[in-house]
Amino acid sequence: MSNIILIGFMGAGKTTAGLRLAKELGVSLIDTDQRIEEEQQRSINDIFAAEGEAYFRGLETQQLKKLMQQEQAVISVGGGLPVQRVNHPLLKQLGQTIYLKAQKETLVKRLQGSTTRPLLKGGQLEEKIASLMEAREAVYEEVADIIVETDDKNLNEVVEAIKEQIGSFRRKEIK
Ligand code: S3P
């Protein structure tokens, strides 16, 4: 199999679903945020604070480029990565992209109290999420090969839905 890439807003469950999916498929999970933090030996909060967002976006693209030889992995990418158009051909080449979609209300609930995401710091959480979502949703839909709605699903159901969709996507590819 080529790779399966999970995209979606912060709090959409990319890492949690990614871990479970990778385990069930017997492959590894690669998380671009985690790789960046390991390489940089500092947190995403610290990178944003010291170098700014544009610098972080550059690191994300570098990570994707490093993955170009990767096969048979589930890859979870940060919520802002697919928004950068420079990353689109890289994502296409890397594998099937699955958008884990969630409504604003669901995300607000899940992101309450998150301290690890610099873009959500300060101000009204709900407003921040709303404005970022407005700017991003269309791009997520454009990039995605498959969309999985997550709002009314538990972890098992999300993973099952992904597996089902990957199957039908593959069958379409073969035809
Ligand atoms: C970001 C999402 C984060 C992380 C960084 C920026 C974004 O990843 O890459 O804080 O721009 O949406 P998660 O989507 O895993 O929270």
Digitized pLDDT (tens) for each residue of the chain, 175 residues in all: 689 999 999 999 999 999 999 999 999 999 999 999 999 999 999 999 999 999 999 999 999 999 999 999 999 999 999 999 999 999 999 999 999 999 999 999 999 988 999 999 988 999 999 999 999 999 999 999 999 999 999 999 999 999 999 876 554 554 4
Cα dihedral value 82, 152, 28, 48, nearest 10: 40
Q: Closest ligand 1 atom to the C-alpha of 114?
A: 16
**Cα-to-centroid distance, 71 and ligand 1 (Å):** 23
Q: Closest ligand 1 atom to the C-alpha of 45?
A: 10
* Residue 5 near residue 95 (C-beta atoms within 8 A): yes
Q: Closest ligand 1 atom to the C-alpha of 15?
A: 15
- Is the pTM above the cut of 0.85? yes
Asked if residue 117 has its Cβ within 6 Å of ligand 1, the reply is: yes
- For residue 26, give the DSSP letter: T
Q: For residue 43, with 0-12 CB atoms within 10 Å meaning exposed, 13-18 middle and 19 or more buried, which class applies?
A: middle
**Cα-to-centroid distance, 1 and ligand 1 (Å):** 26
Could you tell which of 117, 121, 133, 150 is best to mutate to test the pocket of ligand 1, judged by most ligand atoms within 8 Å of the CB? Answer: 117
